[in-house]
Amino acid sequence: MERQGYAMTPEEVRKKLNNMLVTYKRIKDRAKSTGEERVSWEYYTKMDEIFGGSGVGTAPPGTVVATPLFAPAPAPAPAPAPAPAARKPSAPPARLSTVQATRRPASQASGFLESFQHHAERRTAALESMVRPDLERWRRVKERRRRRAFERRLLGTLTNISTSLRQLVAGQEEIIILLSTK
């Protein structure tokens, strides 16, 4: 990168590639769900050429897919075979574990985890800031509905009390009439 005139740290390259992968996945998923064929992102065609056959962006909705941002460490070149006379029938050659081949030093892992945590916090804050106005509006609507329901119940109760009082007054008038005639 430096020879080509780009002064970027490995972390900046990783972040840029990660952001581009996220954009590519989002566009591909949106196109798949809506059937939209026209894509306006200038890097989509190139990204699709690179990642289209790898399954990136093709998982069903709700599936968590991890895309490696670093290529696995290259396997060591096999040693040249000894002359046939020097071969001994021994145990099969040991194979290099893929876990060992892709393992990163602890310092890189902790740096990556810190970076991931920082980005997760930023994403959460951004999502909350986008959702907060809707939550406030939803709370106001919910409170208004609750208040209207309370007012309807109160009005129903007051109507029942009024009806009962009218019946009571009518009963009292009958009693007064009966008492006055005797």
Tell me the average pLDDT across 45-50.
85
Question: What pLDDT score was predicted for residue 148?
Answer: 94
Whether residue 13 contacts residue 1, with contact meaning beta carbons closer than 8 Å, is answered with: yes
Given a cut of 60, whether residue 69 has pLDDT beyond it is no
Q: pTM value?
A: 0.32
Question: What pLDDT score was predicted for residue 157?
Answer: 95
Given a cut of 90, whether residue 78 has pLDDT beyond it is no
Question: What pLDDT score was predicted for residue 101?
Answer: 45
Query: What CA–CA distances, in Å, run from 169 to 9, 89, 161?
Result: 90, 115, 12
Given a cut of 50, whether residue 6 has pLDDT beyond it is yes
Q: What ranges do the domains of the chain cover?
A: 1-68, 137-182
User: To the nearest whole number, what is the mean pLDDT of the chain?
Assistant: 76
Question: What pLDDT score was predicted for residue 99?
Answer: 44
How many Å from the N-terminal Cα to the C-terminal Cα in the chain?
116
Highest mean pLDDT: which of 57-71, 88-102, 143-157? Answer: 143-157
3-state secondary structure the chain: CCCCCCCCCHHHHHHHHHHHHHHHHHHHHHHHHHCCCCCCCCCHHHHHHHHHHHCCCCCCCCCCCCCCCCCCCCCCCCCCCCCHHHCCCCCCCCCCCHHHHHCCCHHHHHHHHHHHHHHHHHHHHHHHHHHHHHHHHHHHHHHHHHHHHHHHHHHHHHHHHHHHHHHHHHHHHHHHHHHHHC
